[in-house]
Chains A and B, each alone.
Chain A
Amino acid sequence: MIELCTQIFNKNVWNIIIPATLQTIYMTVTSTILTFFLGLIFGIAMFITNKDGLHPCVIFNRIFGAAINAILSLPSMIIIILVLPISKFIVGVSYGPKACIVALVVVCTPIFSRLVENSIVEVSKGKIEAAKAMGASNINIILKVLLPESLPALIRNFVVLTITLISTTAIAGSLGAGGLGEVAVRFGYNRFRTDILISVILVLLVLVECLQLLGTFISKRILKKRHLI
């Protein structure tokens, strides 16, 4: 046990872990930014094109909903395997971090779209009706009512998104994208380096826990400010 601990905090281990961590962070941050904007747009689009939404468009809503469900129902591993070759057309390569980012965005945008949709569905109909009755345009309603009113839920769901991205990055990593996932598979799994495997787990746990704490903190602060808790 003690031996394992000294191994984990050995300099050689961290020479491998730190660059991999940075690579994971790079992939996660980039794909988070992309997924955030795409998911926000699609989530809002799904909400307003609903049958009794602000701008009903049932055909779009059905097709888009079906596409989202299709991706959601597949294991992320399979989507990544499907998308990596397609990445070649988008970023020019079908391996490494760049291709991985494309795959991550494809996997996580549907998840975040649904999370955004679920957050803004919680805004009461009465508030939307009030805004409409005051002559607010749909853009006004989205920017001044839906998003601000659901901000605490959006922040919590944004944390869920980043955590999902970190773990999906690890899966993509094991498929050749680099980062912590690749280290875990190459050393921990193939070469039985338990020390490295545990280090990877530690780093992932710390990353996820910090994000979760930060997200909960900000979300709670907003709710407190609005006197909702």
Chain B
Amino acid sequence: MAVPFIEIKNISKKYKSHKQEFEILKNISLEIEKGDIFGIVGFSGAGKSTLIRCINRLETVTSGTIRIGKVEINKLSKKEMNLYRQKIGIIFQHFNLFDSRTVFGNVAFPLEVAKKKKKEINKKVTEILELVGIANKQNFYPEQLSGGQKQRVGIARALANTPDILLSDEATSALDPVTSLSVLDLLKDINKKLKLTIILITHSLDVIKYTCNNMAVLENGVIAEKGKVKDIFENPTSTTAKVFIKNNANLSVTYNRGNVI
């Protein structure tokens, strides 16, 4: 069996507060193939964001290892870590765009951080804004954009340094269903075009069903089940997945493209 592109092995994450210790992630192992769209689903507070923050090393795992390609990320020095992070894009639920910068400036930010030349920045930003379909808005400020457009800027910003991996933390949770779909379509599109590995975190099984090939269910910091999306939908074993799929029947209408309106 080939070695997976991303290998998360027995990681756990503990927080101490008020002299008490909370284990937010418990002995998690995941393997993710290159070019996959991998979904992680779970209720609020399950530890999804913490897991994603361990992958881009905004958090350090308490134990276990995370390997990406040939790099074991817990062994990176501070300097190497910043270079590593430039190759991991991330998009957020609330976009986190910089209000002081135009659309162009926001997408240029990671390139400035990577110390790219002005000419190269101009070329790259134009190219990416074209790719995500907001080239005509490049001189707008974030506050002038709709939610969907803001997330496109977020995606463009995350792609600026041609990352190996794109992390998505509830990126469509603040958007209406129709806009969500268009953003998910964009993610699928760039996954194909750029052969980008995407890890998509969500509390919605619909999003997973629509977008992902493989998935894991996170329940109170534990992986309750993992496998092919198709298999889990046909035969859910974890409570989370069962609850989701049961409550899903009425919701999924909106996500059935033909019947959006």
Contact = CB atoms under 8 A, between A and B. Distances in A.
On whether the two chains bind one another, the answer is yes
Contact of B96 (A126, A137, A148, A151): A126
| A127, A135, A137, A228 — most chain B CB neighbours (10 Å) | A135
A127 B83 contact: no
Contact of B100 (A129, A134, A149): A149
A133 B82 CA distance: 8
Interface string A122-144: 00101101111111110010001
Interface stretch (B105-113, B175-183, B251-259): B105-113
B96 A129 contact: yes
B86 A144 contact: no
A225 B96 CA distance: 19
B88 A131 contact: no
Contacts of A225: 141
B interface residue count range (under 10 / 10 to 19 / 20 to 34 / 35 or more) = 20 to 34
A149 B101 CA distance: 9
A11 interface: no
Given A132-B58, A226-B143, A228-B143, A137 B82 contact: yes
A149 B96 CA distance: 12
A130 B100 contact: no
A130 B96 contact: yes
Interface residues of A, number: 22
9 contacts: A126-B92, A126-B96, A129-B92, A131-B109, A134-B109, A135-B113, A144-B112, A149-B100, A228-B99
Contacts of B90: 130, 133-134
Secondary structure type dominating chain A contacts: helix
Nearest to B102: A226
A134 to B, nearest CB: 4
A130 B58 CA distance: 10
Contacts of B194: none
Contact of B113 (A124, A140, A148, A151): A140
B56 interface: yes
Given A226-B99, A226-B141, A226-B143, A134 B86 contact: yes
B109 A127 contact: no
B114 interface: yes
Contacts of B141: 225-227
Interface in A56-108: none
A136 B113 contact: yes
Interface string A189-222: 0000000000000000000000000000000000
Interface in A149-193: 149, 151
Given A129-B58, A134-B85, A135-B81, 20 more contacts: A126-B96, A127-B97, A129-B96, A130-B96, A131-B113, A133-B90, A134-B86, A134-B90, A134-B113, A134-B157, A135-B114, A136-B82, A136-B109, A136-B113, A137-B113, A148-B101, A149-B98, A226-B99, A227-B141, A227-B144
